[in-house]
């Protein structure tokens, strides 16, 4: 049969022996990866280890008691520096405002553009930083006072209050310092948390001590006041515990009191001897007096309990005040942390302002050089026009103006030489136009002032104590704006019969056109 004729058959076979081998290789690789081979990399880590040890030492010092004193002393020094910084910032801000006003006057009062774009932006952070510096210093002023005031409210002696104020102040500063670098160095933050915990425990201990002291005093006074009554009651066979319970109001009656009284009366009645009878009467009289004294003491204790309750309320109030003090310290900590960021922004703004002044100075010098050039050229043209010839002096002035303008505009020396040659040949107009064209090609002179964020870096320096230094990242040059792409024009000849305006599809050759008669290879399934 012709259909089975091998002459007109093609049998394509695809054998796949790679997949199994790849699976085997993958399994082998999987085993190798599970083995977790160790790779030893040789490197000199001594410098890094030394740095880590320094950091660890610094962290250890921060948690040491002496560190509080060091930090407190440094804070006093920092307060003075902050005040100085505040005045400097205010002076810089005033200088910036004054400068911007002068610039406005230079431009005829219409505004220079610089003020709106750069200097006005700079004065804002300067003002904020000045306020931050004031807040920062005020925080330290109020911290110690608040601590001592809180201690005074505890009713402690002046000496103890001073010590407690010092401790609270030192701890507060430690908390503030730790919070300021919270995001920069976690170990400092850990030390600060430790100090905060110690502070809380100390406050709790003080409150507990006050309460314990009151309890011991009350117990001592109780024995002092009721010892005689208790001792007298014991003479009549009453238990001390029962007597104390009756006085303190825990029990409403003394067990055995009535029985004892009846026993005394029975003993008197049963005695016939007048002397013994008189003695029994005295015992009964003493027992009655003792009973009345117990009742009196019971009433006194009841009255004193109310006073003790009032005292306890006062203690609770003091405890709440201590809580308020702790919250205030937390707020202070946050304020200090915020102030550090503002100070960073202020310092960066100052750097940017200085950079802006420098660029402004460059711009003014360049502009003036070009203006001088234009003036010299115009004067030379006028002189030549009046004299009908150019003098040697005029030409030298023109040459100097060309060189000065070319140098200021940073033109190619070849262009400058070309302009000078044109002037030497008497073509003053040509030299003027040529050089002006080259200056224009350099583009308009701009003063790029860019405010960019920098990352503060913490540096731990010195062995004598912990010093917090915020080191700003070196000023990064502002990236030049990307040059605008030159416009390109492309002429697209649309094929005949094309539909719509989908140029992309037409150019990409994916369009359906109106039939094979165009002979395009992109036509598929076209109707005949």
Partner 1 sequence: MGRAAIELRQVAADVAKIPDAGLFAAAKLVKRVADDAARATVSGGDMSGKHRRPIKLRARDKSIRPIDHGRAILITGVPAGPWVWVTSGTAPHTIRRRKRGPMRKMTVHHPGTRGRDAWTIVIDRSTELVPLIFRDLVDRAI
Closest approach of Cβ 20 to partner 1, in Å?
A: 8
Nearer to partner 1, 27 or 308 (CB): 27
Nearer to partner 1, 11 or 310 (CB): 11
Nearer to partner 1, 97 or 526 (CB): 526
Point out which span in 31-39, 94-102, 461-469, 482-490 binds partner 1 (CB under 8 A): 31-39
- Is residue 66 a contact point for partner 1 (CB under 8 A)? no
- Is residue 527 a contact point for partner 1 (CB under 8 A)? no
- Is residue 7 a contact point for partner 1 (CB under 8 A)? yes
Cα 333 from Cα 331, distance rounded (Å): 5
Spell out the long-range contacts of 118-123 with Cβ–Cβ below 8 A and sequence spacing 24 or more: 118/352, 118/356, 118/447, 118/449, 119/353, 119/356, 121/451, 122/96, 122/349, 122/352, 122/353, 122/356, 122/451, 123/93, 123/96, 123/97
Point out which span in 21-29, 125-133, 178-186, 252-260 binds partner 1 (CB under 8 A): 21-29
DSSP 125-156: HHHHHHHHHHHHHHHHHHHHHHHHHHHHHTT-
Closest approach of Cβ 519 to partner 1, in Å?
A: 16
Cα 482 from Cα 524, distance rounded (Å): 45
- Is residue 26 a contact point for partner 1 (CB under 8 A)? yes
Nearer to partner 1, 27 or 472 (CB): 27
Closest approach of Cβ 527 to partner 1, in Å?
A: 18
Closest approach of Cβ 45 to partner 1, in Å?
A: 28
Point out which span in 3-11, 50-58, 145-153, 516-524 binds partner 1 (CB under 8 A): 3-11
Spell out the long-range contacts of 188-196 with Cβ–Cβ below 8 A and sequence spacing 24 or more: 188/59, 188/62, 190/59, 191/59, 191/62, 191/63, 194/63, 195/63, 195/171, 196/171
| Residue 447 C-beta-side C-alpha neighbours within 13 Å | 24
Closest approach of Cβ 34 to partner 1, in Å?
A: 7
Nearer to partner 1, 32 or 52 (CB): 32
Nearer to partner 1, 34 or 66 (CB): 34
Closest approach of Cβ 528 to partner 1, in Å?
A: 12
Nearer to partner 1, 311 or 516 (CB): 516
- Is residue 23 a contact point for partner 1 (CB under 8 A)? yes
Nearer to partner 1, 1 or 414 (CB): 1
Q: Give the residue, chosen from 32, 308, 364, 459, that forms a contact with partner 1 under the rule CB under 8 A.
A: 32
Q: Which residues are CB-contacts of 415 (< 8 A; sequence separation ≥ 6)?
A: 406, 434, 435, 438
What is the Cα Rg of the chain in Å?
Answer: 49
- Is residue 389 a contact point for partner 1 (CB under 8 A)? no
Give the number of residues in contact with partner 1, rule: CB under 8 A. Answer: 28
DSSP 220-289: HHHHHHHHHHHHHHHHTT--HHHHHHHHTTS-SS-TTHHHHHHHHHHHHHT---HHHHHHHHHHHHHHHH
Count of beta carbons in the 10 Å neighbourhood of residue 460: 19
Q: What are phi and psi of 42, to 5 degrees?
A: -80, 125
- Is residue 524 a contact point for partner 1 (CB under 8 A)? no
- Is residue 38 a contact point for partner 1 (CB under 8 A)? no
Binding site for partner 1 (CB under 8 A): 1-5, 7-19, 22-23, 25-27, 29-30, 32-34
């Amino acid at each position: 049969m012709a259909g089975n004729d091998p002459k007109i058959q093609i049998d394509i076979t695809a054998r796949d022996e790679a997949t199994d081998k790849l699976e085997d290789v993958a399994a082998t690789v999987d085993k190798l990866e599970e083995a977790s081979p160790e790779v030893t990399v040789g490197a000199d880590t001594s410098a890094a280890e030394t740095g880590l040890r320094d950091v660890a030492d610094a962290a250890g010092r921060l948690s040491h008691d002496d560190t509080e004193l060091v930090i407190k002393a440094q804070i006093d020094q920092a307060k003075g520096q902050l005040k100085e910084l505040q005045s400097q910032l205010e002076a810089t801000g005033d200088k910036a405002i004054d400068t911007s006003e002068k610039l406005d006057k230079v431009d005829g009062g219409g505004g220079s553009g610089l003020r709106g774009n750069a200097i006005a932006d700079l004065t804002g952070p300067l003002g904020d930083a000045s306020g931050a510096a004031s807040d920062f210093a005020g925080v330290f002023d109020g911290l110690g006072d608040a601590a001592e005031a809180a201690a005074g409210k505890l009713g402690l002696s002046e000496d103890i209050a001073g010590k407690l104020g010092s401790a609270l102040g030192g701890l507060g500063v430690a908390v503030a310092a730790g919070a300021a670098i919270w995001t920069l160095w976690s170990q400092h933050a850990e030390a600060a948390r430790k100090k905060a915990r110690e502070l809380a425990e100390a406050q709790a201990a003080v409150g507990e001590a006050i309460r314990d002291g009151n309890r011991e005093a009350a117990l001592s006074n109780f024995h002092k006041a009721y010892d005689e009554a208790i001792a007298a009651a014991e003479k009549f066979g009453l238990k001390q515990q029962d007597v104390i319970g009756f006085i303190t109001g825990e029990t409403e009656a003394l067990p055995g009191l009535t029985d004892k009284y009846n026993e005394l009366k029975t003993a008197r009645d049963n005695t016939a001897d007048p002397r013994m009878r008189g003695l029994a009467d005295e015992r009964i009289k003493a027992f009655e007096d003792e009973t009345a004294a117990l009742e009196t003491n019971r009433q006194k204790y009841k009255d004193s309990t109310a006073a003790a309750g009032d005292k306890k309320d006062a203690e609770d109030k003091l405890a709440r005040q201590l809580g308020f003090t702790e919250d205030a310290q937390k707020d202070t900590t946050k304020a200090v942390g915020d102030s550090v960021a503002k100070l960073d922004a202020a310092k960066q703004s100052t750097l940017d302002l200085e950079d802006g002044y420098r660029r402004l100075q460059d711009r003014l010098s360049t502009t003036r050089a070009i203006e001088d050039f234009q003036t010299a050229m115009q004067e030379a043209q006028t002189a030549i026009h009046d004299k009908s010839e150019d003098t040697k002096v005029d030409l030298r002035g023109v040459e100097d103006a060309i060189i000065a303008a070319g140098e200021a505009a940073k033109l190619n020396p070849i262009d400058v030489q070309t302009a000078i040659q044109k002037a030497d040949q008497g073509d003053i107009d040509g030299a003027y136009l040529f050089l002006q064209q080259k200056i224009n090609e350099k583009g308009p002179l701009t003063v790029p002032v860019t405010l960019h964020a920098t990352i503060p870096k913490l540096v731990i320096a010195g062995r004598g104590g912990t010093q917090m230094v915020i080191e700003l990242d070196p000023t990064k040059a502002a990236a030049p704006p990307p040059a605008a792409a030159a416009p390109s024009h492309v002429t697209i000849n649309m094929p005949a019969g094309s539909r719509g305006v989908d140029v992309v599809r037409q150019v990409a050759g994916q369009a359906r056109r109106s039939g094979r008669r165009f002979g395009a290879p992109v036509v598929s399934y076209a109707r005949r």
